[in-house]
Amino acid sequence: MLKKEFVYLFILDSYFKKRTRFTQKEISEYLNISLSTVNNALKPLEKMHAIEIKSREFILRDFEKILVYWATLRDIQKDIVYSTFYPDKTEKIEALMPNEVYFTGYSGYKILEEIAPADYGEIYFYSDNLKEIKQRFPKREGPKNIIVLKEENLLKKFSKNNIVPLPLIFVDLWNLPEWYAKDFLEDIKKKVKFKWY
């Protein structure tokens, strides 16, 4: 993930915790990135009127615009560091994962909401423990159903219970190739009550 993506994650994750006012300085300090990176990340959000920048703070005006804008920027393929096939049911594969992984996509949403809007066969997750993952799930021929995404240290600040936050799950689902990703996205839209839904 790019540094500016973590700016969007910070804003959106905070929104789902009922917060809409921020300072660039707090985001810079929390993410340990430069103020100029934060400022550059905010420019397109201000241009599309998703935020309103005041003298000492900025206010979130439209979370949906930010979510969709980030989803169109996200390049999940660039973050894939390992993929393989494992011949078992998804529930069993998920149970075999090491402790330090952060589920996203279908698994992340199913664990977070305790429901899967559709059957799925691919497990997407973030991890920096490739050695152990490769030991548990060595390279095999077959359709890739284990997809490992590069974990950035910043992700640990937002994730809990081995799941990334809902905004990142949405953005990742938006970029997944499987046809049933749409079913998961539609379920999120209903729960989050998108204006256009």
Q: What's the pLDDT tens digit per position in 154-181?
A: 888 898 889 999 999 999 999 999 999 9
Question: Quick one: pLDDT at residue 90?
Answer: 95
Quickly state the pLDDT bin for 104 (edges 50, 70, 90).
very high
Query: Is the CA virtual torsion 94, 99, 105, 107 positive or negative?
Result: positive
Q: What's the pLDDT tens digit per position in 53-86?
A: 998 899 999 999 999 999 999 999 999 999 999 9
- Measured at the CA of 103, the angle between CA 102 and CA 105, to 5 degrees, comes to 145
Question: Quick one: pLDDT at residue 169?
Answer: 97
Q: What's the average model confidence in pLDDT over 7-24?
A: 95
pLDDT at 101 over 60: yes
Edge-to-edge strand order for the sheet containing 80-84? 80-84, 146-150, 123-127, 102-103
pLDDT at 143 over 50: yes
Edge-to-edge strand order for the sheet containing 58-60? 21-22, 58-60, 51-53
Q: What's the pLDDT tens digit per position in 123-139?
A: 999 999 999 999 999 99
Q: How many CA atoms lie within 13 A of 59 on its CB side?
A: 4
Share of the chain above pLDDT 90, in %: 87
**Would you say domain 3-73 falls under CATH 3.40.50.720?**
no
**Domain map of the chain by residue range?**
3-73, 77-192
Tell me how far the alpha carbon of residue 102 is from its chain's centroid. 10
pLDDT at 98 over 80: yes
The runs of H, that is alpha helices, within the chain are 3-15, 24-31, 35-47, 63-73, 90-95, 105-113, 130-136, 155-158, 166-174, 181-192
Question: Quick one: pLDDT at residue 195?
Answer: 59
- Measured at the CA of 130, the angle between CA 8 and CA 106, to 5 degrees, comes to 50
Instruction: Using alpha carbons, select from 159, 86, 71, 69 the residue that is nearest to residue 122.
Output: 86
Question: Is-contact 71 175, C-beta < 8 A?
Answer: yes
